[in-house]
Amino acid sequence: MSTKTLKPEIPFQKLISMVDQLDQDEKLILKKKLEKQKVSTWQARFGNALSKLGKKNVRFPEKEVIGDIKKAVAQVRAGGKN
């Protein structure tokens, strides 16, 4: 059986109302799928990573986290050499 690609034409407002009808789990799945497809610059991705790290590392001193980040950046720039 051959595959066929369909491109449904749904008005944007109808699409929004359909998304509104999804439950929380389905919305989360949709959000993750859309975020994977989002194209962004490396600077934006780096900023997002730092933001997530900041939220997860609140119990560590800021100087320690900044030191770890600087060390990681230096390793990446050096081609992953220790």
Asked if the structure places residue 1 within a domain, the reply is no
Residue 82: pLDDT over 70: no
Q: Same domain for 29 and 57? A: no
SS3 track for the chain: CCCCCCCCCCCHHHHHHHHHCCCHHHHHHHHHHHHHHCCCCHHHHHHHHHHHHHHHCCCCCHHHHHHHHHHHHHHHHCCCCC
Same domain, residue pair 46 and 82: yes
55, part of any domain: yes
Residue 2 maps to a domain: no
The tens digit of pLDDT for each residue in 4-54 reads: 777 778 888 888 899 999 999 999 999 888 888 776 788 888 888 888 877
pLDDT of residue 66: 86
Structural domain containing residue 18: 10-39
Check: pTM over 0.75? Answer yes or no. no
| pLDDT reported for residue 20 | 93
